[in-house]
């Protein structure tokens, strides 16, 4: 069975996990589609490499379908920018909401992950729900020379 690059095999189940995680993002902090995807194990039958390639878009689809009780404004793309979509209205609204929480944007419209990146839920919270440790959005410190 071919996997869709736009929707998870079981959208409803996937959405529930994405929204659950998104609701943990504190005000004034941001996460990314890819980071949230990295906390969710590949659905049954989905190979790890395929999951890594497709899941960020699945999370994007989940955010699109999210109701207003999910802080969707705190999820941006890996470049630190608000993802463009059809009507620029939603993009403007997202920026307004983030700025209202204290998030600032560079002149190029980007959010600095070094300042605003969310490190993910408490490890215990993740383990209890069979979720995985998130990949960091911050630059990895240079390898420590012996």
Partner DNA sequence: CGTTTGACTACGC
Partner DNA sequence: CGCGTAGCCAAAC
Residues near DNA, by CB under 7 A: 2-7, 32-35, 50, 53-54, 56-57, 59-61, 63-64, 66, 72-73, 75, 77-79, 83-86, 90, 94, 106, 108, 110
Alpha helices in 23-84 (DSSP H): 33-39, 48-65
State the minimum distance, in angstroms, from the CB of residue 28 to DNA: 17
Nearer to DNA, 114 or 128 (CB): 114
State the minimum distance, in angstroms, from the CB of residue 106 to DNA: 7
31 pairs with which residues across the strands? 75
* DSSP code, position 130: T
State the minimum distance, in angstroms, from the CB of residue 51 to DNA: 11
Nearer to DNA, 10 or 128 (CB): 10
State the minimum distance, in angstroms, from the CB of residue 99 to DNA: 16
Nearer to DNA, 46 or 131 (CB): 46
User: Smallest Cα–Cα separation from 34: which of 16, 51, 17, 20?
Assistant: 51
How long, in residues, is the chain?
A: 146
**Spatial distance between the Cα atoms of 57 and 53, rounded to a whole number of angstroms:** 9
User: ∠ CA(140), CA(108), CA(121), 5° rounding?
Assistant: 40
């Amino acid at each position: 069975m071919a996997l869709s690059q736009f929707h998870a095999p079981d959208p409803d189940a996937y959405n529930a996990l994405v929204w659950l995680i998104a609701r943990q993002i504190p005000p004034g902090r941001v996460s990314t589609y890819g980071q949230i995807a990295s906390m969710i194990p590949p659905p049954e039958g989905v190979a790890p490499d395929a999951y890594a390639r497709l899941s960020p878009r699945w999370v994007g689809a989940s955010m699109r379908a999210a109701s207003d009780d999910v802080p969707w404004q705190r999820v941006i793309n890996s470049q630190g920018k608000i993802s463009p979509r059809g009507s620029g209205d939603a993009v403007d609204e997202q920026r307004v909401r983030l700025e209202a929480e204290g998030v600032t944007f560079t002149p190029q419209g980007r959010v600095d992950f070094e300042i605003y990146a969310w490190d993910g839920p408490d490890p215990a919270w993740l383990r209890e729900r069979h979720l995985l440790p998130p990949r960091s959005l911050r630059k990895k410190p240079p390898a420590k020379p012996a």
